Amino acid sequence: MTDISTGTSPKGMGDNSFDPDKLLAKYRSERDKRVRKDGIKQYREIKGEFAHFLEDPYVEPGFTREPLFDEVEVVIIGGGFGGLMAGARLREAGVKQIRVIERGGDFGGTWYWNRYPGAACDIESYIYMPLLEELNYVPKEKYAHAPELLAHCQAIARKFELYDDACFQTDVTGMEWDEAASRWIISTSRGDRMKARFVAMSNGILPKPKLPGLEGIETFKGHKFHTSRWDYNYTGGDSNGNLNKLGDKRVAIIGTGATAVQAVPHLGAAAGHLYVFQRTPSSVDVRNNRPTDPDWVKDLKPGWQKNRMDNFNILINGGDQEEDLVGDGWTDIFRNIGGMLAIKENGVVLTVAEKARLTELADYKKMEQVRARAEEIVKDPNVAEALKPYYRQFCKRPCFHDEYLPTYNRPNVTLVDTMGHGVDRITEKGVMVNGKEYEVDCIIFATGFEVGAGYVSMAGYDIVGRDNKKLSQKWADGLATFHGFYTHGFPNAFFMGITQTGLTANFTHMLNEQANHVAHVVSHVKKANGKTVEPTQEAEDGWVSTMNRMAAQTEAYYAECTPGYYNNEGKPGGGNSFLAGQYGGGPVEFFNILKQWREEGKFEGLNIS
């Protein structure tokens, strides 16, 4: 093991017996095995003969309504947490006419669609579930399950009267700017052409499920569906599990990402036989979920949620805090790093390179623990070995679960490790790997969501701004915004989500900051009797160049990573990649930039006419 400066064991690393150089070589070989020429093109869009995969299982068929041609002050596109937060903050800012347009049959977004067995929030519910103090609600468990999350979305909508004018089961199909009237005209799948003074778009980060472009996928004669539209008619049970119709079924699940990690224990408990097809193992650390302690609730002081959110956000982005309020697997890695830096520093100022090296060592240490956990829990040593992740912790979404690994000790569960290559193809009867056919009755695709296809493709509608310019043209080579919210030539339109913004693992924290900012700007424009607000070209160019400059550091990290949607399937650069949407200085810095900008009160970079 080499130290950063001396070539000896780094002090403060405890009794570690790993060799960082060997691990680095192993990480690289595991990555190289998986990098494919076709990158994101290995996936296929869900359409044509697979279009039914996207049907909404939670609504009665046959819904109709008259098209709308009226005008409202604000249209919000998307009824997930982002849209709900925007609605809440705009209401607080005094906006009366708000219409939410939502594809699903109710509010909820992610939690409307993702009701697979075991679905739960992997960030602590006390910081993930927004507006807890406003709703006077404390979640039942440290990590909330999907039904409670969906109910909370609905409660927010009720509290802020967002049901009143909501349009459900409605897809936005286009938006055009009417220069003369200074209004947006929004077209939808229901024939609407409604007008709005402002539009806030919160289309979701992962709105479109995807399938692997596997040969033969259309030939399979058994049952098949994607996790984001779970077919409980086929499996029985519900989001809590009890999949009582699977007792005599051979079930395949393809994919072992964050979704599969939560669903597999329920499938393993219920299926006649479960085959889990793995390309890359997830990192699965301790969950330790528990009911909320009523004594802890009694002691909560006003402002507790914001404090807790900030505390977590600062810690998981490498900052210092006296106390770790959440104290879970997410913050653990940074406690490790902090401890190591303190010991190493001991009055000496470390260089950026030294800090980076120590951070890397802390990462190895954490991942060694995660790998050791697989070995301790899984009885078959070959299976345990196959379940060990060899990459840095944040190369993929880290997972936390206490029943996932033990599921592989069940006699009715087989891990089919594809050694990084993925499934070969699908046949009429099942799944082929390495020349062997696994016959199954059902295939469940836990293969994730489209990323990297470009904003307009993911949103599902184009926007025609001033001078007939389309957003798809303007952003053909990548995003161009000011602070992530607005783009020149498209007045009164606000983007929420990951369009050049400060992304954090706790998405709802990011959405809360964005919603506050949008409400602040809208409220100012209204008070100033402004007709339109949009960024100057200079402000936008400045933000784009800041984004590009900072992306280089993040790209270097992700270039070392095993492929996945975080790094554009091994090609981290590019204007449409997941990384292109994230401010490289991190969310803490980004939120401070916004705060300072608001406090200055000059609305610098914006043209308010």
Site string for ligand NDP, 212-241 (x = CB under 6 A): x-x---------------------------
**Pairwise CA distance, residues 517 & 523, whole Å:** 10
* Distinct helix (H) and strand (E) counts, the chain: 19, 21
Lookup: tokens for 458: 């993911």
Lookup: tokens for 217: 């996928």
Residue placing its CB nearer to ligand NDP in the complex, 132 or 254: 254
Contact with ligand NDP (CB under 6 A): which of 195, 397, 410, 531? Answer: 397
Residue placing its CB nearer to ligand NDP in the complex, 98 or 458: 458
Q: Are 36 and 570 in contact (CB under 8 A)?
A: yes
Q: Which residues pair with 272 in a beta bridge?
A: none
Residue 104 found at the interface with ligand NDP (CB under 6 A): no
**Pairwise CA distance, residues 362 & 394, whole Å:** 12
For the segment 536-595, give every residue that binds ligand NDP (CB under 6 A). Answer: 564-565
Residue placing its CB nearer to ligand NDP in the complex, 195 or 397: 397
Q: Which residues pair with 227 in a beta bridge?
A: none
**Pairwise CA distance, residues 288 & 329, whole Å:** 10
Span near ligand NDP by CB under 6 A; candidates 59-67, 86-94, 237-245, 259-267: 259-267
Site string for ligand NDP, 409-438 (x = CB under 6 A): ---------x---xx---------------
Q: How far is the CB of 209 from ligand NDP (least distance, A)?
A: 8
Residue 255 found at the interface with ligand NDP (CB under 6 A): yes
E strand map for 440-554: 442-445, 462-464, 493-495, 533-535
Residue 447 found at the interface with ligand NDP (CB under 6 A): yes
Q: How far is the CB of 559 from ligand NDP (least distance, A)?
A: 16
Q: What angle do CA 456, 457, 460 make, to 5 degrees?
A: 80
Q: How far is the CB of 389 from ligand NDP (least distance, A)?
A: 10
Q: How far is the CB of 34 from ligand NDP (least distance, A)?
A: 6
Contact with ligand NDP (CB under 6 A): which of 156, 260, 395, 518? Answer: 260
Q: How far is the CB of 287 from ligand NDP (least distance, A)?
A: 11
Residue 316 found at the interface with ligand NDP (CB under 6 A): no
Q: How far is the CB of 420 from ligand NDP (least distance, A)?
A: 7
Span near ligand NDP by CB under 6 A; candidates 55-63, 94-102, 272-280, 307-315: 272-280
**Pairwise CA distance, residues 16 & 2, whole Å:** 12
Phi/psi of residue 173, nearest 5 degrees: -110, -15
Contacts with ligand NDP by CB under 6 A: the residue count is 28
Contacts of 197 (CB under 8 A, 6+ apart): 71, 72, 73, 74, 182, 183, 184, 492
Site string for ligand NDP, 483-522 (x = CB under 6 A): ----------------------------------------
Span near ligand NDP by CB under 6 A; candidates 120-128, 300-308, 345-353, 524-532: 120-128
Residue placing its CB nearer to ligand NDP in the complex, 184 or 277: 277
Question: For residue 392, what are the CA distances in angstroms to 149, 288, 341, 388, 412?
Answer: 30, 23, 19, 12, 31
Residue 279 found at the interface with ligand NDP (CB under 6 A): yes
Residue placing its CB nearer to ligand NDP in the complex, 492 or 568: 568
Phi-psi label, residue 251: left if phi above 0, alpha if psi -120 to 50, beta otherwise: beta
Residue 251 found at the interface with ligand NDP (CB under 6 A): no
**Pairwise CA distance, residues 191 & 308, whole Å:** 44
Contact with ligand NDP (CB under 6 A): which of 259, 506, 512, 568? Answer: 259
**Pairwise CA distance, residues 8 & 149, whole Å:** 49
Residue 206 found at the interface with ligand NDP (CB under 6 A): yes
Number of C-beta neighbours around residue 353 at 10 A? 10
What b-and-e string marks burial along 74-84, b requiring 16 or more CB atoms within 10 Å of the CB? bbbbbbbbbbb
Residue placing its CB nearer to ligand NDP in the complex, 404 or 475: 404
Place of tokens 């008619």: 233
DSSP letter for 486, please. Answer: B
DSSP string, 245-271: T-TT-EEEEE--SHHHHHHHHHHHHH-
Residue 256 found at the interface with ligand NDP (CB under 6 A): yes
Contact with ligand NDP (CB under 6 A): which of 84, 121, 243, 463? Answer: 121
Span near ligand NDP by CB under 6 A; candidates 264-272, 285-293, 442-450, 547-555: 442-450
Q: How far is the CB of 392 from ligand NDP (least distance, A)?
A: 14
Span near ligand NDP by CB under 6 A; candidates 264-272, 289-297, 444-452, 491-499: 444-452
**Pairwise CA distance, residues 30 & 419, whole Å:** 9
Residue 277 found at the interface with ligand NDP (CB under 6 A): yes
Q: Are 208 and 88 in contact (CB under 8 A)?
A: no
Residue 444 found at the interface with ligand NDP (CB under 6 A): no
Q: How far is the CB of 260 from ligand NDP (least distance, A)?
A: 6
Half-sphere exposure of residue 570: CA atoms within 13 angstroms, side-chain side:
16
Binding site for ligand NDP (CB under 6 A): 34, 120-122, 206, 212, 214, 254-260, 262, 277, 279-280, 397, 418, 422-423, 446-449, 564-565
